[in-house]
């Protein structure tokens, strides 16, 4: 059953709980601007990056989690207030948790690989120096072929969302979810490398000092 622009939210919600892809596309299209606005406001107030990519990633993560937990999250709605208001509360709570996790990550690791993990111009070779380019190559080596292909489409070719989704043969909401997963994967690799490099200098200094000891 194809969604109708006149379909009421509760009917759409029930079909989303049933897992109908078309219903999910309609739900995301109907409420995406609301979630994007909430994400942008919360990230800005928390002093975190609120560029287009950061906000889109937060929105994609919210809808991805909402889909995964639809029976618990959407199923808990009991018609008190509008579904739009209910989703606004869920989205705000989700983005606040995400912002707190990001704040802790930054406090622990500083800003490692900022250009790789968060810059929306991320992988344009002309924008990177030799050291950054080498580090980027190491991070990309940890991705799958499909992830590197998506990375190139989004950040090297800098294709617009609609064109990128058409190239991949998927919907724009599905693209947002894939983009979120890709950036999450890049951040995981970046954090792992940062944690490793943070512990390496101490060992290197000890080994160096041991190598220069005189009897």
Q: Which domains are delineated in the chain?
A: 1-110 (1.10.1740.10), 111-197 (1.10.10.10)
What are the pLDDT digits (tens) for 149-187? 888 888 778 788 788 888 888 777 778 788 878 888 887
Q: Which of 58, 56, 65, 55 is nearest to 24 (CA)?
A: 65
> Higher-confidence residue: 212 or 5?
5
Task: For 159, list phi and psi in degrees, rounded to 5.
Answer: -75, 145
pLDDT of residue 80: 81
SS3 label, residue 46? coil
Q: Is the pLDDT of residue 54 over 50?
A: yes
Q: Is the pLDDT of residue 38 over 90?
A: yes
- Kindly report the CA angle at 110 between 98 and 209, in degrees rounded to 5? 145
Instruction: Report yes or no: 175 and 161 within 8 Å, Cβ to Cβ.
Output: yes
Cα separation, 21 vs 82, in Å, equals 22
Length of the chain in residues, anyone?
A: 215
Q: For 103-122, write each residue's pLDDT tens digit.
A: 776 665 444 433 333 333 33
Query: DSSP assignment, residue 169?
Result: T
DSSP single-letter state for residue 82: -
CA end-to-end span of the chain: 83
Report which of 30, 5, 172, 175 is spatially closest to residue 88, judged by C-alpha positions. Answer: 30
Residues 6+ apart with CB under 8 A from 75: 17
CA quadruple 174, 180, 186, 187: dihedral, nearest 10: -170
Residue 41 and residue 47: Cα distance in Å, rounded? Answer: 10
């Amino acid at each position: 059953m194809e969604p109708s622009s006149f379909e009421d939210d509760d009917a759409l919600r029930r079909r989303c709980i049933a897992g109908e892809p078309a219903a999910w596309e309609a739900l995301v299209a109907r409420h995406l601007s609301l979630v994007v606005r909430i994400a942008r406001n919360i990230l800005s107030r928390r002093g975190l990056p609120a560029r287009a990519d950061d906000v889109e990633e937060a929105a994609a993560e919210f809808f991805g989690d909402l889909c995964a937990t639809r029976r618990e999250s959407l199923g808990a709605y009991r018609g008190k207030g509008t579904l739009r208001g209910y989703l606004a509360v869920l989205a705000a709570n989700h983005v606040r948790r995400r912002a707190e996790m990001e704040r802790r990550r930054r406090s622990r690791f500083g800003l490692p690989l900022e250009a790789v993990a968060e810059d929306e111009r991320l992988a344009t070779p002309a924008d990177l120096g030799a050291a950054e380019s080498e580090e980027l190559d190491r991070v990309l080596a940890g991705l799958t072929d499909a992830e590197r292909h998506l990375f190139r489409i989004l950040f090297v070719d800098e294709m617009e969302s609609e064109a990128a989704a058409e190239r991949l043969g998927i919907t724009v909401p599905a693209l947002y979810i894939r983009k979120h997963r890709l950036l999450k994967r890049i951040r995981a690799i970046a954090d792992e490398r940062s944690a490793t490099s943070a512990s390496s200098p101490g060992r290197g200094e000890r080994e160096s000092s041991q190598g220069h000891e005189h009897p």
